[in-house]
């Protein structure tokens, strides 16, 4: 049993540290992707949201995320 997990290449639309937006509770939130994971064929993102008081939005599915231009 190794100490390091094998990195799995996830074919995601968005990349780590990319600035994105997503809808949560009828509000548009902006943040930076911190983690990407694949669960049962669905890609989920953990997104660091906020300005002064940052928080982590966990398990946001790829279809809920918008690219910022």
pTM confidence score: 0.83
Look-up: residue for tokens 């995601």?
Answer: 12
Is 42 inside any structural domain? yes
Q: Identify which of 44, 43, 68 has the alpha carbon closest to the alpha carbon of residue 57.
A: 44
Using DSSP, state whether 62 is helix, strand or coil.
helix
Residue 6, pLDDT score: 65
For the chain, residues with pLDDT lower than 70 are 1-7
Q: Is residue 6 part of a domain?
A: no
Residue 62 lies in a domain: yes
Domain of residue 38, residue span? 30-67
Residue 36 lies in a domain: yes
Is residue 23 in a domain?
Answer: no
How many distinct structural domains can be found in the chain? 1
- Residue pair 30/20 in contact by the 8 Å Cβ criterion: yes
Is 53 among the domain residues? yes
Residue 8: what pLDDT? Answer: 72
- For the chain, the distance separating the N- and C-terminal CA atoms, rounded to the nearest angstrom, is 44
Structural domain contains residue 22: no
What pLDDT is attached to residue 4? 64
């Amino acid at each position: 049993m190794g100490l390091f997990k094998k990195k799995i290449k996830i074919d995601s639309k968005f990349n780590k540290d990319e600035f994105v937006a997503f809808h949560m509770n009828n509000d548009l939130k902006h943040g930076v992707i911190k983690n990407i994971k694949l669960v049962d064929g669905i890609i989920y993102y953990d997104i660091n949201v906020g300005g002064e008081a940052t928080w982590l939005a966990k398990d946001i599915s790829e279809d809920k995320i918008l690219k910022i231009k």
